[in-house]
Amino acid sequence: MKIGILQVSLRIGDALNLREKHGVLKSLKDRWRKRHNVSIAEVEYLEQPQHAMFGIAMVANDRRFLESALAKLVEELKAERRMELLDFQIEIIG
């Protein structure tokens, strides 16, 4: 069993308050849970309207599959109009 972890730091430039931020993030989280079968949680910057950090986890038995799947999520974030990807880190355990 392999566990893939993706940590992403985001800037939500249009969010003026936490309500707007959470609306944007909820949409992304719901879409990714359905499409990619990942676990996702906001782990930093909880009280900052324009910044967010997600921890995303995926389990599989193939390291290359995990690396590819998590890289695909990074590419989706780069194309996202409502937020800017500031930084990311991929780690595979196991």
Rounded alpha-carbon distances, angstroms, from residue 78 to 22, 58, 59, 66: 19, 20, 23, 19
**Helix locations, 2-93, DSSP H:** 18-36, 63-79
CATH annotation of 2-93? 3.30.70.1120
pLDDT in tens, 4-46: 999 999 999 888 899 999 999 999 999 999 999 899 999 999 9
**Domain spans, the chain:** 2-93
pTM score: 0.88
Residue 88's nearest CA partner among 4, 16, 2 is: 4
